[in-house]
Chains A and B, each alone.
Chain A
Amino acid sequence: MPVNEHLAQYSNWAYTSTVVIYVLAMFFYLGEQALTRARTAATAPAARQLVTAGGATVTRTSSTPTEDEGDTGRRGERPTAERLGRMAVALTLLGLVVHVVSIVVRGLAVHRWPLGNMYEFISFFGLIAICAWLFMARKFAIRRLGAFVLLPVLILMFLGGTVLYAQAEPVQPALQSYWLIIHVTVVSAASGILLVPGVASVMYLMRGAHDRNPERFVKFGPKLPTTSTLDRLAYRSTIVGFPLFTFGVICGAIWAESAWGRFWGWDPKETTAFIAWVVYAAYLHSRATAGWRGNRAAIINILGFGVMIFNLFFVNFVDSGLHSYAGVGS
């Protein structure tokens, strides 16, 4: 079926608008971050409350630490910072809507699932990364750090929209499989989710360095969440992204079995996926091994995300394997 050029053009405009909105949102996040005062970690005091039940007085004492300081840690924030933060979130949500429109319209334009080349792949990756971040920001006080997630997403989306841009086109026969749809969608979603622990781990290293030596990251360090918050953020997003990635690799193997005649062939992309998988396995083990928690675990997580990114976006340029469908290189 021919490509609908009009729709493809609308999709491209939506993509560009998305990037612009995200850039704006990023500046608002940065503004919030800049205006936020460093908070000293306060332990939640034991709360006592009196209740009467059935005539008898019941005194309740609680010392359960709450999961985190609410969603945004708005207590004691300056109103300007708070307002900037809320605007940033609103802008991000607006960006997400336009982003979804861009992807859906692209799919309508080419009459296929809109994950057929590198450009489309990066777009979806960015969408999921930002969704994962917003979701995590509901549980952890990390709203101010939005800029540091938007930055890598924006860099990739910029590259995707310029260097790696591919015309809207149907895909070749080997790619016309529902396993491909599942495989590529799941793997790019998993990669998007794994961006969150990657960023959190970088923050962890900064905050950790600041805690050990307050001279380092003097301005930035104290405004970051505590190391334990960042560690939990990294862990909780990794345990979503990692099984999803595993599932994506299995789907890929099923697809490869029916498309290429073998389920696993140590193709460069497969090999790098294997490496990433092993690195994330090492991350999970390191968090349970004395002497490997904390800094080392954070470094392993960053390494894992590095391998993912390398695999998703750069293996295609290194060696021409079977996965070089991306519409780039050659």
Chain B
Amino acid sequence: MTTLDQPTVTADEPTPPPRPGSVRALLALLRNSWRGLTAMRTALVLLFLLALAALPGSLLPQQALNPNNVATYISQHGWWGTLLQKLQFFQVFSSVWFAAIYVLLFVSLVGCLLPRVIEYGRQLTAKPVITPRNLARLPHHEQIEIDAPDVDPAAVLTAVRGELRGWRQVERDERDGARSVSAERGFFREAGNLVFHFAMVGLIVAFAIGKFYSYTGQVIVLANGSTWCNSGVLQYDSFTPGLRVDGTQLAPFCVKINDFSANYLTNGQPDAYNSDIDYQSGQSLASDTWQPYDLKVNSPLRTAGDRVYLINHGYAPQFTVTFPDGQVRTQVIQWQPDDAATGLSEGATKFDPPDVTDPAQLTKQQLAVTGLFAPTATVSGGLVTSTYPALNNPEASVVVYQGDLGEDSGTGQSIFTIDQTMVDQGKLKNVDAANMKPGDQISLKDGTKIKFDNVQQWVALQIAHDPTQDYVLIFAVFMLLGLITSLTVKRRRLWVRVVPAGEGETAGRTVVEIGGLARTDQAGYGEEFTRLSARLLDAAARATVGEDS
């Protein structure tokens, strides 16, 4: 990336005759490697490699986005899947080879930018180059010959220069009384180009720092006035920290989920999600006052440097169990939506018998109400299915298990299911099954009563923290501005020469010549040159002949 405007000069300076010495050899190697790395063609190859390396990230499932798809892919493709996994193809953007390419590209970029800044500074202070002897050889050329002797070239040039506002120019005397102006403009092209590339460097650095100090986490909260506080990693259902986040210094804030509502179209497609919440952070956290917020999709709560997103919702049936000894326990646990289009959910609400501390007794009397929940139920052949995601006709199809839930087995349990191995081992027994509407109650053989009280809603919140994302945006905007500038501004040169009437062929005639050269892309300079030269020549002609014309 030595320069965008000119072909890279590959011819090295004359190398001194080789001298013995491994230090010299090493230095030469380093110098040549550096030159090679910062050459434009290397950068071009690295750009291609970057594009190529990113390709599997779009074609193969990625661990960070969809671990289930990755597992499926690996199991379906045998040794090929395993090989891809070993080569980090399922985590392209954190792989060694992807990092190698962008680090090389980054070094190449910086190594080429620094000399360009110095070169640009030199160009800014340099005078426009001397007028070529033969302007007719330039890609753009115009000339007028005026039948007027005794013309002062300086006066003509003064008139011409009046039309050259915005051009950097210098006037020079030439041989035989001729005089010329060298003009140049379009320096913003390189400036824009440099801004673009430096902003890109800034963007990459800010992005990288963000990866170190950001975190995201998800949590499900019941929409019944429940409060959730960002006080530690354990508050989350899942938490993905950046490399330097240990979870001890999360931004403190609390949210209270008062309500959730959804609008659906007739086909079950959601139209709007709303959650009425209160939050407190900083001052209001200290004084324990709440501020209201209407949490919506596309409209996260931004507070304490964190963002809170509403990403999902679902239903939480409330069951009340009356144990044979008369004690009552009520539980509301979120059930998992299986089908977003119909709101059909699945889950397991688990109860421990009250006042039982003896593990042997406990493992005989634990209770789990599992099954399906349909917000708009249709029952056919005893099976409950849902036809619409709103709470129009809620009904649950429950299976009650009694026995040992296996919660002491040491392995973690999903809150949405029971441990199937306990059922298989016969330690957890299916004791009853029924379809229940809110208010319905069933009785087990041992006298335990289970009542389906009502249905509550839950929301899934995503909490995200990224301290550098604003900087990334600022750099991106500068990249765009730099890019537009460097692509629209043309670096171009113009020369005007006035040759006074001489002897022989040009006797009695003053010649005004204009030459033009676009230093970057020739495209587009022609029109401007034609327009400009016409104006300049008119000015010259008027200056030569006199204002009376």
Q: Chain A: residues with CB nearer than 8 A to chain B?
A: 53-67, 169-170, 172-174, 176-177, 232, 235-236, 239, 242-243, 246-247, 250, 253-255, 257-269, 271-272, 274-275, 278-279, 281-282, 284-292, 307, 315, 318-321
Contacts and interface: CB of A to CB of B under 8 A. Distances in A.
B64 interface: yes
Contacts of B43: 285
Given A177-B298, A271-B58, 8 more contacts: A53-B541, A64-B142, A173-B271, A236-B523, A250-B477, A288-B3, A318-B59, A319-B58
Given A56-B147, A169-B269, A289-B44, A174 B4 contact: no
A279 B521 CA distance: 20
A64 B140 contact: yes
Given A172-B270, A247-B480, A261-B216, A266 B64 contact: yes
8 contacts: A56-B544, A56-B545, A172-B270, A250-B477, A271-B54, A288-B40, A289-B7, A289-B44
Given A59-B144, A242-B487, A265-B65, A285 B524 contact: no
B142 A291 contact: no
Contacts of A267: 65
A285 B272 contact: no
Contacts of B473: 250, 253-254, 263
Nearest to A240: B487
Given A169-B265, A275-B54, A67 B524 contact: yes
Given A173-B296, A176-B298, A291-B41, A58 B144 contact: yes
Say what secondary structure dominates the interface of chain B: mixed
Contacts of B537: 60
A271 B4 contact: no
Most buried by A among B145, B298, B469, B521: B298
A324 to B, nearest CB: 12
Give the 8 A-B CB pairs with smallest separation, nearest first: A54-B549, A54-B545, A290-B7, A173-B297, A271-B58, A239-B487, A278-B51, A282-B47
Interface of B: 1, 3-8, 10, 40-41, 43-44, 47-48, 50-51, 54-55, 57-62, 64-66, 69, 92-93, 136, 139-148, 207, 216, 265, 267, 269-273, 296-300, 307, 309, 311, 462, 464, 466, 469, 472-473, 476-477, 479-480, 483-484, 487-488, 516, 521-524, 526-527, 529-530, 533, 537, 541-542, 544-546, 548-549
Given A54-B549, A232-B523, A243 B487 contact: yes
Nearest to A265: B65
Nearest to B272: A173
B58 A243 contact: no
Given A172-B269, A174-B297, A275-B54, A286 B8 contact: no
A155 to B, nearest CB: 23
Contact of B6 (A57, A278, A288): A288
A278 B49 CA distance: 10
B272 A289 contact: no
A319 B548 CA distance: 76
Contacts of B483: 242-243, 246
A136 B33 CA distance: 43
A58 B270 contact: no
A61 B537 CA distance: 11
Contacts, number: 205
A111 B112 CA distance: 51
Contacts of B464: 261-262
B298 A235 contact: no
Given A58-B145, A262-B464, A278-B47, A289 B59 contact: no
A118 B303 CA distance: 36
Contact of A261 (B66, B143, B309): B309
A292 B92 CA distance: 29
Contacts of B5: 288
Given A56-B146, A177-B298, A265-B65, A235 B523 contact: yes
A242 B524 CA distance: 18
B272 A176 contact: yes
A175 B549 CA distance: 66
Contacts of B479: 246
Contacts of B472: 263
B237 to A, nearest CB: 15
A289 B4 CA distance: 8
Contact of B530 (A64, A169, A274, A291): A64
A113 to B, nearest CB: 14
Contacts of A173: 270-273, 296-298
B4 A285 contact: yes
Contacts of A232: 521-523
B271 A253 contact: no
A239 B480 CA distance: 12
Most buried by B among A242, A246, A292, A319: A319
Contacts of A176: 272, 297-298
B141 A266 contact: no
A255 B297 CA distance: 11
B93 A235 contact: no
Nearest to A281: B47
Most buried by A among B147, B207, B523: B523
Contacts of A271: 54, 57-58
Nearest to A259: B298
Given A169-B269, A173-B271, A271-B57, A266 B147 contact: no
Nearest to A54: B549
Contacts of A279: 47-48, 51
Nearest to A167: B267
A62 to B, nearest CB: 5
Contacts of A318: 58-59
A132 B236 CA distance: 51
Given A53-B549, A261-B464, A262-B464, A235 B521 contact: yes
Contacts of B47: 278-279, 281-282, 285
B51 A282 contact: yes
Contacts of B142: 60-64
A53 B537 CA distance: 12
B69 to A, nearest CB: 7
A322 to B, nearest CB: 8
A276 to B, nearest CB: 8
Given A53-B542, A173-B296, A286 B141 contact: no
B271 A170 contact: yes
B212 to A, nearest CB: 15
Given A58-B145, A318-B59, A319-B59, A282 B48 contact: yes
B44 A59 contact: no
A266 B299 contact: no
Contacts of A278: 47, 50-51, 54
B143 A60 contact: yes
Contact of A250 (B54, B61, B480, B546): B480
A85 B374 CA distance: 63
B8 A290 contact: yes
Nearest to A273: B58
Contacts of A170: 265, 269, 271
